[in-house]
Structure 1
């Protein structure tokens, strides 16, 4: 299905991604406020972030494959409304358990992001697919990084509940815009849901899917190492930055990520594999700057910009390659790929705080660079295997 993707439609799809993914990440800057309001013990605050992530993981497996069965315009609109139900429950929660239910529900339907990316890829002409994915997934980065800044500021002015009320209003408004501005996505034949889930499992036997997934795993483990741990050295001597000041680094990361939108055009030109390798090298090199947090904020800013540029460039290239290779099940392939993303992010978040406790930010920086080098090894092995396969075919 290929229609004209106007600038307005691309922007709408990007905004859907930004708002949906923000439902998972806005809890991070308001944790202490939520805990104080609901009387949550400090040791239990981590579950407020984890609840949304758990819902998201379940949604990747059970909900995203529905995009290969049903009209994705209706599916996107329905999931946006259900995510709004979760943010409403969160906003009005007077008890900890109801807050967690709301966050799980919002995270579960935040996977509308993956359905949106897959829909955008299918709506694009093949020559513009990378460009479209680059623009739409920039919304994801805006949502992840921008959510921290906006949520912190909004909570300071109006309280943490206002953050979730605002998200609810945005989700409802986007539902109406999706129906009004996006084309229908009729399906003449529908595969059984069980068959679609089985095909998702079979994807893990595909060499291209597995290699790109492993690259994403290590890529986002490095990303998680930075963004889950950077506040620790910046809050310590000699900087003593507060939460709002640390959050401003998200703007630097945003600049780097948006700079990588052009990676989609490079992928359209047939350079996706080279872009992946070059960006991973940049990712590893960025840690040489980010690791200097003990004495230079400017180097940290430079490292953040380069890291987010590299991560977004690889992410766009990965999705371009996979949706091109599997054009008839883009939702399933994007959903399966994002499982690697989610698990890698979680590993980076857990590992960086553990390493920091024993080896400081220098240890965390080595860890982040190590994840990047692992991604480079996977990329190199995949390139070698692909070259060997092409040589064998030529001989035959």
Structure 2
């Protein structure tokens, strides 16, 4: 039996390129659900009669729902058959997308997006599954490919959303996303091996064990801090970028704002190589280089509030850096325990999206206080602090004990 075909019993180690690619596509499509609204804030605000600043909370609510879904659902990947669990999550997300599409009011849309965040966890079930199916020699490359798919989905969702909304209205993107989720649910049900659960643990104890591994493992705690700062900066930048590009001097429509996601896509492709750096033992030095690049990216952005070229350069630098850091952090986490990868991923992603929600709030507050300059200077300062933390922690706190 190969890892790419369903069968009874345990799967032979290894995962083929076809199944890896399907995991990456499905993971990207799932996490893209969280960001359809981001370039549409002005459009949604006008249609549902609210302010653009209030519409900015749509992203925050979705991320909070996602963090809760990661905490409550993803740990089940260690104790249930993921051939059933992953498609079920995609079907549930499709229902939530349908509710978003028919939202009659801003309050209803907020609630529907919270539910969407809670249910759109398929990508974070697939990432540890990919880590389980991969061998030790290629785990970094496989996980890197799937995580790169997630990051690509985050970026492409903005571009797709802008074009579809311009052509058919903002509600149509949620209808199309629901159809895609249902198709992927069928494909994954056919492709995922019928793996037996790795453990049998009562649900309450299962959720509690997520916090237990954070308390026990110093590597986990330090990695979570750095990963959280990175994701907060990523969310802060992209949320405020929508405000920048929709106002003077740019005044771009949503379709053009969405195109800026394609610049970040170049960064996602480049960052996919980061998993191979981990496999070669270069994870920590590459992470430090990534943080230095984040500082440079925000400095460039601070000087580019009226320059499209400067904004594009800042996006490219930031996405290469943040996405590379994310892949390296997540792969290091998966080294800690083969039996608890879903729970480790729960800690990793819940942490990221709580920080991400904070990044969205911070973007809104900073934009009101000082606009683009305030956002970018704060980003550069936080990235510098993270670089210092990395320099201190790399002396031992980020090293996984092979024993």
TM score, norm. by length of structure 1: 0.92
Task: Give yes or no for the alignment of 1:168 onto 2:185.
Answer: no
Compared CA separation, residues 87 and 154, structure 1 to 2 (3 A)? same
* Cα distance in 2 for residues equivalent to 1:244 and 1:352: 22
Q: Which residue of 2 aligns with 1:72?
A: 82
Cα distance change of structure 1 residues 159 and 177 upon mapping to structure 2, 3 Å threshold: same
Structure-2 residue corresponding to 1:298: 309
Moved more, 188-197 or 362-371: 188-197
Aligned mate of 1:344, from 355, 358, 361 = 355
Tell which deviates more after alignment, 68-77 or 293-302. 293-302
- Kindly report the root-mean-square deviation, in angstroms, between the aligned alpha carbons of the 2 structures: 2.3
Equivalent residue number for residue 333 of structure 1: 344
Provide the residue aligned with 1:231 in structure 2. 242
Question: Which residue number corresponds to residue 128 of structure 2?
Answer: 118
- Among 325, 328, 338, which residue is 1:317 paired with? 328
In 1, Cα distance between the equivalents of 2:59 and 2:183? 25
Q: Which range moves more in the overlay, 213-222 or 242-251?
A: 242-251
8 A contact 1:138–1:257 mirrored in 2:
yes
Q: Which residue of 1 aligns with 2:5?
A: none
Q: Which moved more, 1:342-351 or 1:364-373?
A: 342-351
TM-score, with structure 2 as normaliser: 0.90
Choose the corresponding residue for 1:211, options 207, 218, 222.
222
Q: What is residue 102 of structure 2 aligned with on the other side?
A: 92
Residue segments in structure 2 that go unaligned for 5+ positions in a row: 1-10
Kindly tell me: are residues 347 and 47 of structure 1, through their superposed partners in 2, closer, same or farther at Cα, counting changes over 3 Å? closer
Question: Aligned partners of 1:296, 1:96: CA distance in 2, in Å?
Answer: 34
Q: Which one is further off, 98-107 or 171-180? A: 98-107
| Structure 2 match to 1:362 | 373
What does residue 65 of structure 2 align with? 55
- For the 8 Å contact 1:29–1:151, the answer to whether it is kept is yes
**C-alpha distance in structure 1 between counterparts of 2:398 and 2:187, whole Å:** 46
More deviation, 34-43/302-311? 34-43
Change (3 A) 1:98 1:120: same
Instruction: Please point out which of 269, 282, 287 is paired with 1:271.
Output: 282
**1:221 touches 1:368 (CA, 8 Å); kept in 2?**
no
Distance in 1 between the 2:400 and 2:224 partners?
20
Query: C-alpha separation between the residues in 2 aligned to 1:26 and 1:266?
Result: 32
Q: Are 2:159 and 2:257, in contact at CA under 8 Å, matched by a contact in 1?
A: no
CA distance in 1, matches of 2:104, 2:246: 31
The C-alpha deviation readout for 1:288-336, integer Å capped at 9, x for no partner, is 2222223432222112111100111111111111101121100110111
CA distance in structure 1 between the aligned counterparts of 2:306 and 2:341, rounded to whole angstroms? 46
Partner residue, 2:187: 177
Deviation of 1:225 (Å): 2.5
Q: Matches of 2:245 and 2:364 in 1, distance apart?
A: 14
Matched, 1:26 2:36: yes
Distance 1:96 1:216, change over 3 A: same
Q: Is the 8 A contact 1:20 1:112 kept in 2?
A: yes
Residue-pair matches, total: 391
CA contact (8 A) 1:85 1:102 kept: no
Say whether the 8 Å CA contact 1:69–1:187 is kept in structure 2: yes
Selected match of 1:243 from 243, 254, 269: 254
Structure 1, unmatched stretches of 5+, are: none
Separation in structure 2 between the aligned mates of residue 179 and residue 243 of structure 1, nearest angstrom:
35
SS at match of 1:384: coil
Selected match of 2:211 from 187, 201, 206 = 201
Aligned equivalent of 1:282: 293
